[in-house]
Amino acid sequence: MERPKSCPKRTRLKSFLAVLLLLGPAPVLARNSDEAGTLSQVDAAIRHRDYSEAVSLLRSAAGKGSAEAQYRLAALYRAGQGVPKDLKKAFHWMRAAAATGHAKAQYSVGKMYLSGTGVARNMTTGLTWLDKAAGQGHAQAAQLISQARQSQRLTQARPAPPEPGETSNRRTARKSEPRPKISPGTAQKASRNGRSALMDVVSRGQTDAVKELVRQTADIDAVDLDGYSALALAAQAGHGEISALLIAAGAAVNPSRAERSPILFAAAGGYAGIISQLIGAGARLNSVDARGRSALERAIEAGHAKASLHLVRAGADISRRSEDGRTILMKAAPRGDKSILLALLAKDAPVNAVDGRGRTALWFAVDSGKVDAAAVLLAHGASADAIDAGGPAPLLRAVERGHFACADHLIDAGADIHALSASGNTPLMLAAKSGNIDLLRRLLKAGADIGRKNRYGYTALMFAARAGREDTVKLLLEEGADPARRNSKRERAIEIAQAAGHAHLMKLLK
């Protein structure tokens, strides 16, 4: 917890949050220490709302070929932060980042093509970029591909308006249509993108055409230039009937390139029915994608409860850890789905395992404000006082993030109310800053030290005065807080309130 600062204006805060949402919480993707240093400076500039400085740094790094800088600069152009809003420039830089293989940029470029944002609308090109992102494990890209192709199918299926005088019964005519006419040899021809005719009709969801090409003994396991088979494409797009056809025709469910396994794509899209088909055909449950994630991890990260439960119950490995040490349970906790957590705990997932920073599944649940998840984990023996490498125990994190219902559960479970953050802040100090009277009373009743100071000499009363919390100041004074105490800068609560412009607190603190 940093030393308290002056409250930013609401409009500036909204702008700041908007940029953070655009850039996303992903870790810095740097090729070298210089680039990492520049991106860290960009993060600092955005935290301080100095968007002009952020843009200057990003332009320099983007011009030198940094894909992450190009991606972030594009986001600022889209938001109009630090630069005039310019969708064409946003597309230019996003396309540059995507060309290097940046998965999030590829996803964004695909969306921009689909919506015609900063570039002419082009469904085919958009889907191509989304395919590339999905191939790197981008779950949202896989979902969008499915949605876009479903929309495409509905459009293609919509009948044209009848000609004047037309009296034929279209439904009858449609029933009498012959099966698709596909000339012999078509099954073996490849299109310009390296996809066979079979792959093309699978991508478009044309079931009858798939049947005809399979009948022609097409090479059912051929792959395109990106390594996708027809079955992988069907699983990615959620074409359950087609995937069943291909499996019945002998399509390989375990390709030589494990990262292109159909089950990974079905899991990312949440297609439980296709997952069931693949498992029944002998698909390996624990194949991993290019980022080392299994089907279960992809399903959980994408928030697909039904697909996740299907994989857990089928015996997917729940002991896996990501590079940063996170377990499957830790990844499920911030999603907040009790059914998944209970299924994992029933399989003996270690509830108090820690990642590389000492964080537990409970810490992740609390950090995300998932009350039900926190309750389930506490009921199964999660430690309420596990401290991460950065300092805050779960109770501190809950109060700091404003997740007060989680804080109540932690206090009920016996969490240490005297826990300290790296800056020496206590739960009482943070509650005073937030102005949550009910939580403040709970902590005081439980024996929280009202006069304790943090590393900078701030007491709970000073936090409340700095934030202008009149009701909180009154309660703390009633409970015996001393307004005469001084911080490390020799300031009393009244002087802190005055400096922050809270004149209405002057009489209370005299």
For position 454, what pLDDT does the model report? 93
Q: Residue 91 pLDDT more than 50?
A: yes
For position 349, what pLDDT does the model report? 94
pLDDT band at 360 (very low <50, low <70, confident <90, very high): very high
For position 140, what pLDDT does the model report? 86
Q: How many CA atoms lie within 13 A of 176 on its CB side?
A: 6
pLDDT in tens, 256-293: 888 899 999 999 889 999 999 999 999 999 999 888 99
Q: CA-CA distance, 4 to 400, in Å (whole number)?
A: 13
Q: CA-CA distance, 434 to 44, in Å (whole number)?
A: 24
Range of lowest pLDDT (81-85, 243-247, 288-292, 299-303): 81-85
| Tokens 């590829």 found at | 106
Q: What is the mean pLDDT of residues 250-255?
A: 93
Phi, then psi, of 360 in degrees rounded to 5? -105, 175
Q: Which domains does the chain have, with CATH numbers?
A: 11-139 (1.25.40.10), 190-315 (1.25.40.20), 325-389 (1.25.40.20), 417-510 (1.25.40.20)
Q: Residue 299 pLDDT more than 60?
A: yes
Write the CB contacts of 116 (distance below 8 Å, at least 6 apart in sequence): none
For position 23, what pLDDT does the model report? 47
Q: Which candidate, 277, 341, 272, places its Cα nearest to that of 307?
A: 272
pLDDT band at 55 (very low <50, low <70, confident <90, very high): confident
What share of the chain in percent tops pLDDT 70? 82
Please write down the long-range contacts of 19-26, taking CB distance under 8 Å and 24 or more positions apart: 19/46, 19/51, 19/75, 19/76, 19/79, 19/81, 20/46, 22/75, 22/76, 22/78, 22/79, 23/72, 23/75, 24/104, 26/104
Q: Residue 184 pLDDT more than 60?
A: no
For position 21, what pLDDT does the model report? 43
3-state secondary structure at position 504: helix
